[in-house]
Amino acid sequence: MDIKKNDVFTVQIEDMSEDGAGIGKLDGYIWFIKDAVIGDVVEAKAMKMKKSYGFARLMKVVEPSPHRVEPKCPVARQCGGCQLQALSYEEQLKFKEQKVYNNLVRIGKFDNVVHALDETVDIGAKSAGSCGKPIRFLPIMGMDEPWRYRNKAQFPFGKDRNGEIVTGFYAGRTHDIIENEDCLLGVESNRPILDKIKSYMKQCGVEPYDEETHRGLVRHALIRVGFKTGEIMVCLVINGIKLPEESVLVDSLKEIEGMTSISYSVNRDKTNVIMGKDIVNLYGPGYITDYIGDVKYRISPLSFYQVNPVQTEKLYSTALEYAGLTGGETVWDLYCGIGTISLFLAQKAKKVYGVEIVPEAIADARENAKINGINNVEFYVGKAEEVLPEQYEKEGIYADVIVVDPPRKGCDELCLDTIVKMSPKRVVYVSCDSATLARDLRYLADRGYEVEKVRCCDMFGHSSHVETVVLLNREIKKNDD
Ligand code: SAH
């Protein structure tokens, strides 16, 4: 191959990588080209080259893919947030399904995954090989409206070349602020809130934070909205312990409909971590409230809460359906976070046990159980791979159903081993990384579990992320009920 750095070449995009970059091939050499979509013919400039693959910058779309659309957001390319805006939403969904399917086949070595339109359509007894009964791969749950779905945004503050206060997003992989107060994934009320914060800063001589000099006060604004309640929270992250003339800010923000909680967070560290540990309340109860399904959640500036509540409800309802509860079951919810799934399950189970490593999340989970009057849940702080084996060895705990919702790295082997030993009838696996999902499903499939069905859910439209929920059944043994 005779392409050198900075050479411009033409290539057809044949595939897309896991993280949404276009993939083209020239003489067997693979090019990753961000912002190019499958089906495009593009001109690209070679930027960085390794032995068998390289990265190139998209210069010009020579022939657009039939699935290419004009990104709605004017700064889609500079801002690192959306990788797939140039692909039609329909194709984004197909891309995500394909990614999960491919991982099941390649990493999980399942040769029996069959696309099925619904739960009932006959997928035959296809046993394409060694993997047993066919696995039903159901259609992805897409969004009705893939814009303005995020209930949370964190805007960095800085200054532009003319010394004006700006806010927006960091450009991909950098800390340069791209001015944009109206990210199309966020709610419309973000813009007037940011305008009010900027006006307050100008009026009261409050400077934005400068990372290089570690001076200036306002670092970020965290804005959260309860989609079902309309309640809004604003929390300014500051490099100091006090906000000057805070009443000017509070009075101005209160004019926004739904404003429920105003606070600031003290973060004086030289760090990329956005939020500081201490929160100082300026107005309201210190939290907002929202609902997923019928379950009420109290959200404070530091609590975790799913950012797309509409799709979360679909995903967790599916997990609940797959759990197949009738009211008498004992259920373990591993990696339970603030207990979103646990509280969902508790409505239909006899008893739910949640396990989570972050103590603050468990404090929220307990609080959320209390405000909903849910008494049949119990939460443990600790690692799933430690708490579960310990409880199993010592207490001989039992489970009819185990639900897991691990972080990207998937489940620890010790945790999977204990699940196998506990031998629940069903395992429901909720995953945000289909590669580790496929690995873990293979592990369980080799130890007595059959994958029955798989369904993806799009929680993060225009990004390359996809969530998946899977039902596994224990293979029927003799003397089983
Ligand atoms: N279902 C949860 C979100 C799960 S995200 C909710 O809706 O709130 C994955 C969670 O696993 C995170 O909360 C993370 O803190 C937790 N976690 C990470 N490693 C863990 C481990 N080894 N054991 C238990 N929990 C863990």
Distance 234 CA to ligand 1 centre (A): 25
255 has binding-site annotation: no
Residues 366 and 338: their CA atoms lie apart, in Å, by: 8
Residues 152 and 386: their CA atoms lie apart, in Å, by: 32
Within-domain flag for 49:
yes
Whether 465 and 380 share a structural domain: yes
Distance 430 CA to ligand 1 centre (A): 11
Whether 353 and 217 share a structural domain: no
Nearest ligand 1 atom to alpha carbon 412: 22
User: Could you read off the pLDDT of 204-240 as tens digits, one per residue?
Assistant: 999 999 999 999 999 999 999 999 999 999 999 999 9
pLDDT band at 478 (very low <50, low <70, confident <90, very high): very low
Active site residue 432: yes
Whether 318 and 170 share a structural domain: no
**Residue 121 confidence (pLDDT):** 86
Q: Which pair of structure tokens corresponds to residue 412? A: 């620890």
335 has binding-site annotation: yes
pLDDT band at 80 (very low <50, low <70, confident <90, very high): confident
Residues 54 and 347: their CA atoms lie apart, in Å, by: 52
Cβ-proximal residues to 452 (8 Å cutoff; 6+ apart), any chain: 133, 135, 136, 471, 472, 473
Whether 328 and 439 share a structural domain: yes
Q: Residue 362: give its domain's CATH number.
A: 3.40.50.150
User: Could you read off the pLDDT of 330-367 as tens digits, one per residue?
Assistant: 999 999 999 999 999 999 999 999 999 999 999 999 99
Within-domain flag for 480:
no
pLDDT surpassing 80 at residue 172: no
User: Could you read off the pLDDT of 184-196 as tens digits, one per residue?
Assistant: 999 999 999 999 9
pLDDT surpassing 70 at residue 197: yes
Query: Which of 335, 403, 460 is the pocket-test mutation for ligand 1 (most atoms within 8 Å of CB)?
Result: 335
Single out the residue in 63, 84, 109 at which a domain terminates: 63
Q: Residue 36: give its domain's CATH number.
A: 2.40.50.140
Nearest ligand 1 atom to alpha carbon 405: 4
**Residue 18 confidence (pLDDT):** 86
Whether 131 and 164 share a structural domain: no
Whether 320 and 266 share a structural domain: no
User: Which residues have CB under 6 Å of ligand 1?
Assistant: 304, 306, 335-338, 340-341, 355-358, 361, 383-385, 405-407
User: Could you read off the pLDDT of 20-75 as tens digits, one per residue?
Assistant: 899 999 999 999 999 999 999 999 999 999 999 999 999 999 999 999 999 999 98
pLDDT band at 173 (very low <50, low <70, confident <90, very high): confident
Whether 37 and 156 share a structural domain: no
40 has binding-site annotation: no
In the chain, the percentage of residues whose pLDDT exceeds 70 is 97
List strand residue ranges (DSSP E) for 186-242, in order: 218-225, 232-238
Whether 467 and 321 share a structural domain: yes
**165 CB neighbour count, 10 Å cutoff:** 19
78 has binding-site annotation: no
**Residue 477 confidence (pLDDT):** 64
Q: Where on the phi/psi map is residue 22: left (φ > 0), alpha (ψ -120 to 50), or beta?
A: beta
Higher pLDDT, 400 or 83: 400
Whether 140 and 213 share a structural domain: no
Whether 136 and 275 share a structural domain: no
- Shortest CA distance to 89 belongs to which of 142, 40, 14, 36? 142
C-alpha torsion angle, residues 364, 365, 368, 369 (rounded to 10): -150
Which residue out of 79, 204, 336, 432 is catalytically annotated? 432
Whether 179 and 30 share a structural domain: no
Residues 44 and 255: their CA atoms lie apart, in Å, by: 49
Within-domain flag for 481:
no
Distance 362 CA to ligand 1 centre (A): 10
10 Å CB burial of residue 479 (0-12, 13-18, 19+) is exposed
**Residue 126 confidence (pLDDT):** 56
Within-domain flag for 77:
no
First-to-last alpha carbon distance for the chain, in angstroms, is 64
CA atoms within 13 A on the CB side of 463: 17
Q: Residue 159: give its domain's CATH number.
A: 2.40.50.1070
Distance 413 CA to ligand 1 centre (A): 16
Whether 286 and 334 share a structural domain: no
Within-domain flag for 85:
no
Higher pLDDT, 179 or 331: 331
Q: How many domains does the chain have?
A: 3
Residue nearest to atom 12 of ligand 1 (CA): 337
Q: Which domain holds residue 246?
A: 152-299
Within-domain flag for 68:
no
Single out the residue in 273, 299, 325 at which a domain terminates: 299
pLDDT surpassing 80 at residue 128: no
Single out the residue in 299, 332, 365 at which a domain terminates: 299
Q: What is the mean pLDDT of the chain?
A: 94
**Residue 345 confidence (pLDDT):** 96
Cβ-proximal residues to 446 (8 Å cutoff; 6+ apart), any chain: none
Residues 449 and 423: beta-carbon distance below 8 Å: no
Within-domain flag for 467:
yes
**Residue 63 confidence (pLDDT):** 97
* CB-based contacts of 59-66 (< 8 A; 24+ apart in sequence): 59/8, 61/36, 62/10, 64/39, 64/40, 65/13, 65/37, 65/38, 65/39, 65/40, 66/39
Within-domain flag for 223:
yes
pLDDT band at 120 (very low <50, low <70, confident <90, very high): confident
pLDDT surpassing 70 at residue 138: yes
What is the pLDDT averaged over residues 396-411? 97
| Coil, helix or strand at residue 197 | helix
